[in-house]
Amino acid sequence: MRFAVNYSTKLAELIKAGKVDFDLFKCPEWDGLLKAATAVKPVYLHLDIALGRDQVHKLDFDRLKRMLVETGTPHVNCHLAGTPDLKIGNKADRNKLLKQWIKEIDFLKKEFAGYPVISENLPFEPPIPEFHLASDADLIRQAIIEPDTGLLLDISHARITADTLGINYQEYVEKLPLDRLHEVHITGLRRYHGFIEDHFEMQPEDWPSAEWAAEQIRVGAWREPEIVAFEYGGVGEWFSWRTETWVLEEQVPRLYALFGGNN
């Protein structure tokens, strides 16, 4: 099990100064960014592949395969998304989405032969109704087990979904196929523009969920994932404004102590 953190220039500076340590950067498939990141530390790719929209055939597979090889990324990730027209209580819509997911997963398995394909749960909240059906834990379980693939568990996404639905997030997570776990994502949550959002620093109320996940892995209740990633910080307009040096310096070591490969 390796511990990763989103690449950012501030984090790279901390590494060069010897102030933090961890196993590898988590990076999107941006050539320029990968060049900068690999000059500092090993990296792995997190791909921007959304299922459920019949778009996967448009991917540049040659480019992605090259980048997977160059970075030594152990698996191909995708996101279990949906479309706004699908309704949670409609059985036909449920079957339609599951069938589409499995069709696209099978396509990815064929194109990325030799790589495990892992699927990530997305967060449901009122601004993104297309994730309501897509966040159904039983449907996610089917979409992973039936095509024989793996799980990328985003703890923060699960917490957001559970909060929206008014249920316990641990009970929601435990419905997922945790014996097929390959990767875990952790972030802090904060209310932003009226809704709970992720990719923020860890707040006091966020640590119990990370500690719970670490304990489930430690005792063998969950399959030990290849990677646990702290999805804090980054580059570009969406992430750079919420990348603080003090957060990285304080929270990366604490999380690495929880999820480092020597634990």
pLDDT tens per residue, range 100-150: 999 999 999 999 999 999 999 999 998 888 889 999 999 999 999 999 999
Q: What is the CATH number of the domain that holds 167?
A: 3.20.20.150
pLDDT of residue 127: 81
Cα(225)–Cα(247) distance, rounded to whole angstroms?
25
The pLDDT of residue 116 is 97
CB 78 within 8 A of CB 118: yes
User: How many domains are contained in the chain?
Assistant: 1
- Looking at residue 238, what is its pLDDT? 67
Q: What is the pTM of this model?
A: 0.95
pLDDT of residue 261: 53
DSSP 206: T
Looking at residue 224, the DSSP 8-state letter turns out to be P
Block means of pLDDT (10 residues each) for the chain, length 263 residues? 96 97 95 92 97 95 96 97 90 96 98 97 89 95 98 98 96 98 96 84 97 97 98 80 92 95 48
Range of the domain at 160: 2-259
Residue whose pair of structure tokens reads 């604490």 in the numeric block: 254
DSSP conformational letter for 134: G
Phi-psi region of 199 (alpha: psi -120 to 50; beta: other; left: phi over 0): left
